[in-house]
Amino acid sequence: MLSDRRSSGAQIEDESIELKSGNKIKAAIGERGHVNVTSYNRVVLVTGEVPTDADKTAVIEALRTLENVANVDDELIVGPSSTMSTRSSDTYITSKVKGAFVDAKDLQSNAIKVVTERGNVYLMGRVTEREATRATEIARGTSGVMKVVRVFEILSEADLANLQNK
């Protein structure tokens, strides 16, 4: 929690949103599809696959009704669920991107959340434009990455300095 740029309240809200989302999704579409929900500072990233447009709409609408959700970023795909092989590859890509962030001395690696789905890397966090650009460059340079999607909240350098002085 000490190096996280979210307030402790926002971190708890994010955990709650992620926990409650499973029940909402199950109520909306049952066991159809493969849906992942990641919340960062009350912004919900939805990735995965559902079989129909109606299922996609049902999932997104259900998540929008969750308490404390500021925004839903819909990256859900209509199509067949990803294979275990693809999911394993995504896990490996995520670990490589995170490792590259740790190696980069000009980034605070734990300020950025990395989610990978079908080779697409989603970057979330509260970062400066410089950090967002650098993280994007690193992720794009990682083998296996098909596309990088930025889901950042951009802070000014002054805002970041204020956060670090608290």
pTM surpassing 0.85? yes
**3-32: per-residue pLDDT in tens?**
789 999 999 999 999 999 999 999 999 999
For residue 61 the two structure tokens come to 């609408």
Which of these CATH numbers, 3.40.630.30, 3.40.50.720, 3.30.1340.30, 3.40.50.800, describes 8-78? 3.30.1340.30
Average pLDDT estimate for 21-46: 97
- Identify which of 72, 40, 43, 42 has the alpha carbon closest to the alpha carbon of residue 59: 72
Q: Which CATH number fits domain 84-164: 3.40.50.10490, 1.10.10.10, 3.90.75.20, 3.30.1340.30?
A: 3.30.1340.30
The per-residue pLDDT for range 102-142, each reduced to its tens digit, is: 999 999 988 999 999 999 999 999 999 999 999 999 999 99
